[in-house]
Amino acid sequence: MTASPPKAPVVAEAHEVDTFQHPSKPHIGSLQEYETLYQESIQEPEKFWGRQARELLTWQRDFQTVKSGSLENGDCAWFLEGQLNASYNCVDRHAFKDPNRVAIIYEADEPNDGRNLTYGELLREVCKTAYVLKQMGVKKGDAVAIYLPMIPEALIAFLAITRIGAVHSVVFAGFSSDSLRDRVIDAECKVVITTDEGKRGGKLIGTKKIVDDALKQCPDVRHVLVYKRTGAEVPFTKGRDLWWHEEVEKWPSYIAPEPMNSEDPLFLLYTSGSTGKPKGVMHTTGGYLVGAAATGKYVFDIHEGDRYFCGGDVGWITGHTYVVYAPLLLGVATVVFEGTPAYPNFSRYWDIIEKHKVTQFYVAPTALRLLKRAGDHYVKHEMKHLRVLGSVGEPIAAEVWKWYFETVGKEEAQVVDTYWQTETGSNVITPLAGVTPTKPGSASLPFFGIEPAIIDPVSGDEIAGNDVEGVLAFKQAWPSMARTVWGSHKRYLDTYLNVYKGYYFTGDGAGRDHEGFYWIRGRVDDVVNVSGHRLSTAEIEAALIEHPAVAESAVVGVHDELTGQAVNAFVAIKDGNEVNDALRKELILQVRKSIGPFAAPKAVFIVPDLPKTRSGKIMRRILRKILAGEEDQLGDITTLSDPSVVDKIIAVAHEAK
Ligand code: ATP
Ligand code: MG
């Protein structure tokens, strides 16, 4: 990263000769090379992963056993006897080699408030903070809660915690005090790290106040470390609360990293809660880090000198693996963006990409739908350094995929639709940028070590061959898979490993097409069965979004006397379109045309917005409950980003009756 040039007269820029060129070759030379390596990863996983683990990470003690345990027994473990430290791998080794290399590009909520941190600076900050935690009594194996906005200190906190062998449990700093309380209690955290306030989209968020409320019912929390972000007056509990800036001043800038066994827990993270009560997923050190580094290198084709920008929040797995671990393990600069894509206007992402010459960008379809809806006049930027555009979190409709590729990527950058889960730790079905040919809407081919199986949900048997549909499972363990659900190993076994013995069950439906490419159809519970046709909600939603008036859509199945289930669609339309029966008819026609008459929605509800989790995923189970008249049994809705939409949707549904 070069510093911004001294102010020059504007005309000079116009004459600048541009010599920029993309790096000539991806890490993997061809699809054929991928196939050869992939076969090795499946036939000889020990050989493949042993080599990757030694190449990508620095071990304090080498491992001897690459892999042990089985999916049947739920005791998979990797790189045994090996010892390493996450913060050493993310920071020290790069800082020793090149202390002035930029590690973090902090893009603050206000466009000009940001700053950069080099690897040398990051090492000092991480060490001081690690000392502070140690002095607070945090020991190896203790869980520490992070309730921080997207600021460099969030990454410093991650790395300080792992440096002393403690376990981070990040709670998205948009969750209510009740959600925070539940997660602090579940993980038995003794320390919480937060800010006085957060700043997002021009608005202030009272993070410290939320922590105070949550901790009223967490008597075991001994300390709260508070980073001063805005300088607001906040109440302080004497003895318990400590200012970050006062504490770090007390301690030296180097502390040795704690050697950790490969299978020691690295972090806990609660799932998004789209399907029910969030699960505290546990990841371990060696396997998770290998997965993060390997996917960063091969999926995003990260090279030295890249500037990587993942728009996900550190409160989600995407932020863990692709804001923090993958880019830092590979020693490149990671953009930490505090704000929203809509502030100060809908050009914000593109401004950031242009300003920092971002090479890889990674975001969820929900943000892309928002930006596509806002209009192309916000995307005037050249963004010529962009090589890879990632998508994650939900199926991406072909319409949105094409917009991403053409309007954002100028048909130069490759779109990688990456399928994975909190539980998988890193991308599992995904194109490799620059290598795998893509088809809009398909997550394409398995990553190394992932052996997908399509299972018939009725018989439970695996379906061989191509051109098949069913539920998606994996036949082999891979390094970055979750090892347990915190405090509930039985729930882990029952949710993932006991459903189809010998397989890891994803909970998602999928198809494998005639070329062996995978198409994720959405959650198994979201599949609609009309007169024996198993329809994917994602596919019907993608058809609806092709209509120019549609901004977002969600499809669910409802009980139907005649057909078993019937398709019902919820649609949010773009501003300026009239809501009437003619539009509803057009939408039904759109689905008939794109998929077929059997998929046509029986009812179309035009709603102001859809119920979405805070990570932007549509919670279809709420729509199903509303249609079934079970509004009093909505279940856990604490992870909804705007709970008030539920009443608005209920009103629309009632009106239609
Ligand atoms: P919970 O498990 O609590 O219900 P969640 O499954 O939404 O929450 P995550 O682990 O964040 O929590 O999300 C993983 C899920 O997101 C996948 O199982 C899949 O349904 C969906 N998903 C992620 N990436 C993609 C993708 N590229 N294409 C299609 N679906 C995706
Ligand atoms: Mg899930």
Q: Which amino acid is at 279?
A: K
What pLDDT score does 564 carry? 85
Cα 406 to ligand 2 centre (Å):
31
- Distance in Å, CA 128 to ligand 1 centroid: 36
Q: How far does residue 527's CA lie from ligand 1's centre (Å)? A: 15
Encoded tokens for 524: 């198994």
Question: Looking at residue 9, what is its pLDDT?
Answer: 32
Cis peptide before 6 (omega within 30 of 0): no
Whole-number Cα distances in Å, 317 to 173, 267, 272, 505:
14, 11, 9, 19
Residue to substitute in 274, 313, 391, 639 for testing ligand 1 pocket (most ligand atoms within 8 angstroms of CB): 274
Give the H/E segment covering residue 554.
strand 550-560
User: Which residue lies with its CA nearest to atom 15 of ligand 1?
Assistant: 421
Q: Whose CA is nearest to atom 18 of ligand 1?
A: 421
Task: Output the CA 229–ligand 2 centroid distance in Å.
Answer: 33
The per-residue pLDDT for 21 is 59
Q: Is 530 helix (H, G, I), strand (E, B) or coil?
A: strand
- Nearest ligand, CA of residue 615? 1
What is the complex's ipTM, to 2 decimals? Answer: 0.99
| DSSP code, position 601 | -
Of 170, 508, 519, the residue with max ligand 1 atoms within 8 A of its CB, to mutate for a pocket test, comes to 508
pLDDT per position as a tens digit, 144-196: 999 999 999 999 999 999 999 999 999 999 888 988 999 999 999 999 999 99
Calculate how far, in angstroms, residue 373's C-alpha sits from the geometric centre of ligand 1: 23
Is the four-CA dihedral 357, 316, 119, 252 of positive or negative sign? positive
- Find, among 135, 191, 200, the residue nearest to 173 by Cα: 200
How far is ligand 2, taken at its centre, from the CA of residue 441, in Å? 20
C-alpha distances in Å from residue 453, one per residue of 456, 460, 461, 495: 10, 11, 10, 17
Average pLDDT, consecutive stretches of 10 residues, N- to C-terminus, the chain (657 residues): 35 42 81 98 98 98 98 98 98 98 98 97 98 98 98 98 98 89 94 97 96 96 98 96 98 98 97 76 98 98 98 96 98 98 97 98 94 94 97 94 98 97 97 96 97 94 96 98 96 96 96 97 83 81 92 92 90 89 93 87 94 88 91 83 91 86
Q: Ligand 1 centroid to 306 CA: how many Å? A: 28
Could you give the CA distance from residue 305 to residue 412 in angstroms, rounded to a whole number?
19
- Distance, CA of 53 to CA of 30 (rounded, Å): 22
476 alpha carbon – ligand 1 mean position (Å): 20
Q: How many helices (H) and strands (E) does the chain have?
A: 21, 31
Ligand nearest to the CA of 392: 1
Residue ranges around ligand 1 (CB below 6 Å): 271-275, 278, 317, 392-395, 417-422, 443, 506-508, 520, 523, 615, 617
Backbone phi and psi for residue 363, each to the nearest 5 degrees, phi listed first: -155, 170
Quick one: tokens of 434?
């620059």
Residue in the structure block whose two tokens are 């959600």: 179
What would the two tokens of residue 1 be? 């990263």
- The residue contributing the CA closest to ligand 1 atom 14 is 421
- Contact criterion met (CB below 8 Å) for 160 and 126: yes
* Spatial distance between the Cα atoms of 70 and 59, rounded to a whole number of angstroms: 24
The two tokens of residue 131 are 């000392």
Rounded distance between C-alpha atoms, residue 134 and residue 169, angstroms:
17
Strands 468-474, 462-463: pairing is unpaired
Q: State the closest ligand 1 atom to the C-alpha of 419, by its place in the atom list counted from 1.
A: 27
Atom of ligand 1 nearest to the CA of 613: 7
Q: How do residues 259-274 score in pLDDT, each as one tens digit? A: 999 999 999 999 877 6
